[in-house]
Amino acid sequence: MRNLLLIAAAATVLASCNPSSKSAGEAGAVKDASENAVSYVVDKSASSIRWEGAKITETVHYGQIALADGSLSVNDGNLDAGSFTIDMNTVTNEDLTDAEYNGKLIGHLKSADFFHTEAFPTAKFEITSVSPSTETGATHSISGNLTIKDVTKGISFPASVNISDTELTANASFTINRNDWGVVWGGTLTDQSIKDYLQNNLIKDEIAFQIQLKANK
């Protein structure tokens, strides 16, 4: 009984310290490019994806992930459709200056505890809809399917998109709840020990991404 009370107390404390972000929605139908749309190919060297995660102690880790490929379609001067693929094996950390600790963190992120990059080397985002945005600093509201570890969920976020005759730039930030994509270290009280549960839940549910894309016609 004492152990059960300790587990319940620990779960309550962690739940209050580690609130979940808004859950992802169901995946939607991927938007096909319009018949007269023009394709812009993503310039991998001029584009970037920044990730950020944290523990409940507010210790923040962050770094970069590289794009594998991508393209965006423009129809009549407006963003129409598109997708991009992320090379999960390129994940880096930029806040840990100690090489040993840096390497351990990257190895852990790539392991089956988190993104399991050996089995799931890429992630992907595919646009399902695009509409004008009313949010300050954004031009578009973009919805799409995000696939991580072969789990596909729907997300939406505001973005600032600029299009010229020769290039397209897009900037966006969004946050996901890693549990929605099965990025779970340890598990729950029903199928793992309290130690494993605590290990997983000392990490916040949220992973934030900042994306900057440049694509050439």
pTM higher than the cut 0.95:
no
Q: Which residues pair with 72 in a beta bridge?
A: 40, 82
Domain count, the chain: 1
Q: What is the CATH number of the domain that holds 190?
A: 2.40.128.110
CA distances 210 to 93, 196, 215, Å, are 15, 30, 17
Domain, as residue range, for 150:
2-216
Could you give the CA distance from residue 189 to residue 191 in angstroms, rounded to a whole number? 6
Q: Tell me the C-alpha distance between 153 and 151, whole Å.
A: 7
Q: Which residues of 69-92 are buried (b: 16+ CB within 10 A; e: fewer)?
A: ebebbbeeeebbbbbbbbbbbebe
pLDDT in tens, the chain (217 residues): 434 333 333 333 333 344 444 568 999 999 999 999 999 999 999 999 999 998 776 679 999 999 999 999 999 999 999 999 999 999 999 999 999 999 998 998 999 888 999 999 999 999 999 999 999 999 999 999 999 999 999 999 999 999 999 999 999 999 999 989 988 865 444 455 555 554 545 678 899 999 999 999 9
